[in-house]
C-alpha cells in the first residue's frame, strides 16, 4: 500500500505520470471510492449532507465524462483506466491535505476567512490543477501547456456546474 501512496505522491510532485499507474480495475475502483468518500467528507464539513452527496456525484460524473471525451478525442481511449486512477488517487490525497485547511474555515460566513487559510486553500487548488494538467499532458502525449489548458478547462466546467448545483439548493 505504501508503494501506491508513494506513486501518487510522485505524480503529485510531477516525477511520474499515469503511465506508471498499474492498469487495474480493482485499483481504479479503490481510488474512485477513496476519492468520492474523501470528497464527500470534505464538502460535508461546510454543507448539508444532500448537497455534499449531490456535489460528489456531480464531480465523479464530470471527471469521468471529461476524461473519457478528452482521451477519446485524442484517440487514447486505452489510457483511460490509468489516467482516471491517477486523477482519483491524487485527488484523494489532495482531499486529505485539504481537510485541516477546510476545518479552519469559519462556520459563520459573516466572520470572514483568515488570510492564511484562504492562501493555503488557494495553493492546494492551484497545485491540484497543475497536477491534473501534468496527468493529462502525459496521458495525451502532449506539451505540459496543453495538459494545463485541459485541466483549467475542466476546472472552469466543474466550477460552473457546481455554481449551478448550489443555486438549486438556495
At 62-115, the pLDDT tens digits run: 999 999 999 999 999 999 999 999 999 999 999 999 988 888 876 655 666 678
Higher pLDDT, 41 or 47: 41
Q: What is the average pLDDT score of the chain? A: 92
Residue-range domain boundaries for the chain = 2-168
Q: Decide: helix, strand or coil at residue 107.
A: coil
Query: Exposed e or buried b for every residue in 55-84, given b needs 16+ CB within 10 A?
Result: bbeebeeebeebbeebbeebeeeebbbbbb
What are the angstrom distances between the C-alpha of 93 and each of 89, 119, 138?
A: 7, 19, 19
* C-alpha to C-alpha distances, 64 to 36, 59, 61, 71, 72, nearest whole angstrom: 12, 8, 5, 11, 12
C-alpha distances out from residue 153 to 38, 50, 129, 150, Å: 23, 27, 10, 5
Distance of CA 109 to the CA centre of its chain: 25
In the numeric block, which cell numbers belong to residue 151?
A: 485541466
Percentage of residues in the chain having pLDDT higher than 70: 94
- Single pTM value for the model: 0.92
For 71-85, how does the pLDDT look when each residue is reduced to its tens digit (9 = 90+)? 999 999 999 999 999
pLDDT at 107: 61
Amino acid at each position: 500500500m505504501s508503494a501506491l501512496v508513494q506513486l501518487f505522491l510522485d505524480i503529485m510532485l510531477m516525477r511520474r505520470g499515469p503511465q506508471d499507474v498499474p492498469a487495474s480495475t480493482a485499483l481504479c475502483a479503490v481510488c474512485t471510492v477513496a476519492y468520492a468518500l474523501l470528497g464527500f467528507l470534505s464538502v460535508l464539513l461546510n454543507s448539508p449532507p444532500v448537497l455534499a452527496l449531490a456535489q460528489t456525484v456531480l464531480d465523479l460524473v464530470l471527471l469521468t465524462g471529461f476524461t473519457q471525451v478528452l482521451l477519446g478525442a485524442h484517440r487514447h481511449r486505452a489510457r483511460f483506466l490509468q489516467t482516471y486512477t491517477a486523477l482519483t488517487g491524487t485527488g484523494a490525497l489532495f482531499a486529505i491535505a485539504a481537510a485541516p485547511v477546510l476545518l479552519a474555515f469559519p462556520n459563520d460566513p459573516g466572520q470572514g476567512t483568515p488570510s492564511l487559510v484562504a492562501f493555503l486553500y488557494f495553493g492546494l487548488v492551484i497545485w491540484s490543477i497543475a497536477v491534473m494538467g501534468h496527468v493529462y499532458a502525459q496521458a495525451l502525449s502532449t506539451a505540459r501547456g496543453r495538459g494545463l489548458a485541459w485541466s483549467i478547462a475542466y476546472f472552469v466546467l466543474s466550477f460552473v456546474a457546481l455554481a449551478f448545483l448550489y443555486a438549486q439548493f438556495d
